[in-house]
Amino acid sequence: MPKLTPFVIGLTALMMTSCGNSMMRAIETETVAEAEICRTIGQKLPTRSRQDTQQTKDEIQEAYLNFKLACPRWVHLIPA
């Protein structure tokens, strides 16, 4: 299985939010497929490390933000 990079996560999140779904619609009528996508991506979100460069930190933060916007019911999967 390919590794989910911050770019892939961000791209997926943008695709999910740009398909005509407002955040409220996503919260109210999340489909089974959308829930599965959010669960899968959320479980594979990158974690932070002390060895991260500034670029890596920025990419991870952007991935977290994109995920939060695309999957508001699944923010509990974002690593602390």
Q: Please, which residues have CB within 8 angstroms of residue 6's CB and are 6 or more apart in sequence?
A: 46, 59, 60, 62, 63
- pLDDT, tens digit, for every residue of 9-49? 766 666 665 554 555 454 556 788 899 999 999 999 999 99
Query: What are the residue ranges of helices labelled H in 6-50?
Result: 6-17, 23-28, 32-43
Q: Which residue has the tokens 């594979």?
A: 44
- Position 65 scores a pLDDT of 96
- pLDDT, tens digit, for every residue of 62-72? 999 999 999 99
